[in-house]
Amino acid sequence: MLTVDALRVRYGPLEALHGVSLDVGAGGVTAVLGRNGAGKSTLVRAIAGYLRPSSGRILWQGSDITRAPIGRRAAAGLMLVPDEGGVFRSLTVRENLELFAAGRDLGPAFETFPDLDALARRRAVLLSGGEQQMLALSRALLAPWRLLMVDELSHGLAPALAARLYAVLAGLAATHPDRAVLLAEPDPRVALALAGRVHVLRRGELAATGSPAEFDAATL
Ligand SMILES: Nc1ncnc2c1ncn2[C@@H]1O[C@H](COP(=O)(O)OP(=O)(O)OP(=O)(O)O)[C@@H](O)[C@H]1O
């Protein structure tokens, strides 16, 4: 579905991605695994259109979207849940959901995350980290996404809550075999447990690609 070809991205004088090439196929979860600073966020932000690559190409279902504006990518179903939340903090939970849903039924969000129902009138800025992540993930439940990119889902969350959110992602991937979920993930155990395909980034370069069985979490 998605092809990233020799992608280079710079922040001023610093090049964060040094020519990364990888594919993301439909069905299941693909993980981009790497330590802090490896370039995971840079990669998903460039795919979503928040950063402009200095060279290389991004192909979405055969079309070159390297220079396409964010809005066009979003309309094509490319959706990023960024590591800093991706919710409108001054709006209430319900207002956030209504924006995500754009006229569609809010039911799927409340069914998947019943906690949000009791929080509907609370401003997102007052939510805990986990509640904010639930709200951010609701975007995918309410919108016709085709590629869902999630940057460090478990950032700052208690393990039990993180496990619950990862299970929601796995469920989304399993129920939509024609779509793709791309996870930017620092924890090898999570990536190997959840993903069908793993791309390992190291210092802005693709170090390895394979199925989870080809990797050993202890050596990653
Ligand atoms: N806004 C920025 N300005 C300058 N350099 C940046 C910026 N954002 C990231 N970098 C640098 O780019 C490199 C890749 O960072 P990136 O955030 O993509 O890594 P990451 O793998 O997502 O790590 P983390 O899990 O810590 O977010 C790092 O060297 C980082 O310091």
Predicted confidence at residue 216, as pLDDT, reads 85
Q: Is 133 in the pocket of ligand 1 (CB under 6 A)?
A: no
Predicted confidence at residue 84, as pLDDT, reads 78
Query: Domains in the chain, start-ordered, CATH in brackets?
Result: 2-86+145-213 (3.40.50.300)
Distance 185 CA to ligand 1 centre (A): 13
CA distance 122 to 57: 41
- pLDDT tens track for 144-159: 899 999 999 988 888 8
DSSP one-letter code for 73: H
Q: Where do we find the tokens 């754009």?
A: 102
Strands 205-210, 180-185: pairing kind: unpaired
Q: Is 13 in the pocket of ligand 1 (CB under 6 A)?
A: no
The DSSP H or E segment spanning 136 is helix 129-142
CA distance 212 to 117: 37
Q: Is 50 in the pocket of ligand 1 (CB under 6 A)?
A: no
Which residues does 155 contact at the CB level (< 8 Å), separation at least 6? 83, 129
Q: Is 39 in the pocket of ligand 1 (CB under 6 A)?
A: yes
CA of 96: how far to CAs of 41, 70, 84, 119, 183, in Å?
Answer: 23, 19, 15, 12, 23
Distance 105 CA to ligand 1 centre (A): 37
Which residue type, as a one-letter code, is found at position 213?
A
CB 74 within 8 Å of CB 135:
no
DSSP one-letter code for 147: E
CA distance 153 to 141: 15
Q: Pick the residue whose CA is nearest to atom 17 on ligand 1.
A: 41
Total residues found in the chain within this entry: 220
Predicted confidence at residue 188, as pLDDT, reads 93
Q: Is 37 in the pocket of ligand 1 (CB under 6 A)?
A: yes
**Nearest atom, ligand 1, residue 45 CA:** 18
Which residues does 102 contact at the CB level (< 8 Å), separation at least 6? 143
Q: Is 149 in the pocket of ligand 1 (CB under 6 A)?
A: no
| Per-residue pLDDT in tens (0 to 9) along the chain, 220 residues | 999 999 999 999 999 999 999 999 999 999 999 999 999 999 999 999 999 999 999 999 999 999 999 999 999 999 999 987 789 999 999 999 999 999 999 999 999 999 999 999 999 999 998 899 999 999 888 988 999 999 999 888 888 889 999 999 999 999 999 999 999 999 999 999 999 999 999 999 999 999 999 998 777 7
Predicted confidence at residue 50, as pLDDT, reads 94
Q: Is 16 in the pocket of ligand 1 (CB under 6 A)?
A: yes
